[in-house]
Amino acid sequence: MTIPFFPPDLFEDDRQVLLDLVHAIGTAPEQRFLLGEHTARFEEALRASLGAADVVACSSGTSALTLVLHALGIGPGDEVVVPAYGCAPLANTVAGLRATPVFADIDPWTMVADPDEVERAISDRTRAVMPAHMFSVMADMPRMREIARRHGVRLVEDSAVAQGGVLDGRPAGTWGEAGVFSFVQVKTFGTAGEGGAVVTMDPELGRAVRSLRNHGQSERFVYPRTGYNSRFDEVLAAFQLHRLPGLPARLERRARIADYYTERFTPLRERGVLPPPPGRNGRCYYVYSLLAEERDELKRYLADRGVESHVYYPLPLPRQSAFTRFAPAGRGWPHAESAARRQLAIPVHPRLTDAQVEHIADTVCAYAHSKERNS
């Protein structure tokens, strides 16, 4: 039987709860489907757990980035330094505000933005740096904070994939002036739909984001600014409140699977298969990504043995047609380009059984050893 990369039964244990919530909220006298008491309680639960000044739930992680950048005043003529390798919203949100994304190369092993490259990309037009956590590794946020402080630019933490990650005792999402989460179903705290949140230590920034997510309102039908429709769903807020107590156990299961994989795969480095660095500091294990010299061959090998895998970001952002206008002629991002050729993610979701995890590890190891025999 095939071991799926995305579990088809992700919310099976909570199915009846979700159906009951849909009925309860849909038949409540107030008929409040957006930004009601459940959203407020969900925001407060996250704020308390993170020690943040404010948490603002919104429609998606991408929307959260747009709200933050808008609230910080990013606009035409401004530059924002972003990783050259990652998800399209890193550049889309900047370009959508008519600012310029400036691409910095990544660390060749962790695949997060290289702080030295970020600093080299800063110019007198730079208004913000926006590192992103990737797959299972948080960016080097202590260095990013220092770089932002030294150059007098804003620090936005794209922590969309990293809820539950902790670096040097500080949670993901709380390192910059603002961080964001994504609740799309496959994230570490995914829900049965779409959603996101802005996390900030700045109450004034939180108030601005809260207004922007609801068309710029300061109070009902009063609009001191233009804004967006980025409101959060009451059913999903209630569902996330229900699932929040179980998040630590799900995160621990991901981490234990990742620990096992890394122990098994570390000896394969000389055989063309490189796992992430070991350890748990600054880790979230949203995705467990290998770097394989013969990535497509490994993907086929796994598929032939019933293991689904997933290629993320087959092109660096500056090589995507949407963003080539922001890529200086003759400029290269060699580590981002290497990651795009070599990255392959294997299943790490918490619904995997021990037997499935062992089969996945055995299959990767068998592939690596077969390459050695054939060489």
152 alpha-carbon distance from chain centroid: 25
pLDDT tens, 260-279? 999 999 999 999 999 999 99
Residues 6+ apart with CB under 8 A from 227: 211, 212, 213, 214, 215, 216, 217
What are φ and ψ of residue 36, in 5° steps? -105, -155
The model's pLDDT over 207-222, given as tens digits with 9 standing for 90+, comes to: 999 999 999 998 888 9
What confidence score (pLDDT) does residue 1 get?
A: 82
How far is the C-alpha of 145 from the C-alpha of 190, rounded, in Å?
Answer: 28
Helices (H), the chain: 15-26, 37-50, 61-71, 89-96, 115-121, 141-151, 203-212, 234-243, 247-265, 295-304, 334-342, 354-374
- Of 284 and 236, the structure prediction assigns the larger pLDDT to 236
pLDDT tens per residue, range 117-173: 999 999 999 999 999 999 989 999 999 999 999 999 999 999 999 999 999 999 999
This prediction's pTM: 0.95
In the sheet that holds 126-129, the strands lie side by side as 54-58, 196-200, 178-182, 154-158, 126-129, 79-83, 100-104
Average pLDDT over residues 241-255: 96
pLDDT of residue 375: 56
Is residue 87's pLDDT more than 90?
yes
Q: Output the pLDDT for position 147.
A: 98
Query: Is pLDDT above 90 for 31?
Result: no
Write down all domains in the chain, each with its CATH number in brackets. Answer: 12-245 (3.40.640.10), 246-374 (3.90.1150.10)
